[in-house]
Amino acid sequence: MNPDGGDGVWRADREPALDNLMARILERDNVKRAWERVKSNKGAPGSAGMTLSDFPAYAREHWGEIRQSLMDGSYQPRPVRRVVIPKPHGKGERKLGVPTIRSYCTSFNKS
């Protein structure tokens, strides 16, 4: 923190490091590994309704804008889909959150 109470200089000093980190996160091999983990979980659609099989075509078409929104900080995740499952041995319920595959997508409508 600066003595004058502002943190603008502190942020400015670190912006290049954050950009570099995000660029590394978005490298092709890293994104591919992340996608493989998502597929291995065999999850259900989240609140956006997009299935695992729908996502690859969507991602190919929209990767440029997805990547840019992550890089420039305009990415806004969608809410998770809330699911309630029973706990073992009838001891109540557990609330789970199912994240969306493509949280940023607001215009996806399954036909």
Q: Which residue shows structure tokens 């806004």?
A: 76
Residue 61 is predicted with a pLDDT of 93
Question: What pLDDT digit, counting tens, does each position of 25-81 carry?
Answer: 999 999 899 888 888 888 777 767 788 888 889 889 999 998 998 888 888 887 888
In a domain, residue 93? The reply is: yes
The two tokens of residue 105 are 């997508």
Is the residue at 32 inside a domain?
yes
Q: How confident is the model at residue 13 (pLDDT cuts 50, 70, 90)?
A: low
In a domain, 3, yes or no: no
Q: How far apart are CA 30 and CA 70, in angstroms?
A: 14
Domain count, the chain: 1
Percent of the chain with pLDDT over 70: 76
**50 domain residue, yes or no:** yes
Residue 110 lies in a domain: no
Q: Tell me the C-alpha to C-alpha distance, in Å, between residue 104 and each of 25, 51, 91, 95, 96.
A: 17, 14, 36, 23, 20
Task: List, for residues 15-34, the tens digit of each pLDDT value.
Answer: 667 778 888 999 999 989 98
The H helix count followed by the E strand count for the chain is 3, 2
Q: How much helix, strand and coil, in percent to the nearest 5, is found in the chain?
A: 50, 10, 40
Q: Is the dihedral of CA 28, 34, 40, 43 positive or negative?
A: negative
Residue 105: predicted pLDDT = 43
Q: What is the CA radius of gyration of the chain?
A: 19
pLDDT band per the 50, 70, 90 thresholds, residue 94: very high
Global confidence as pTM: 0.60
User: Range of 86's domain?
Assistant: 8-98
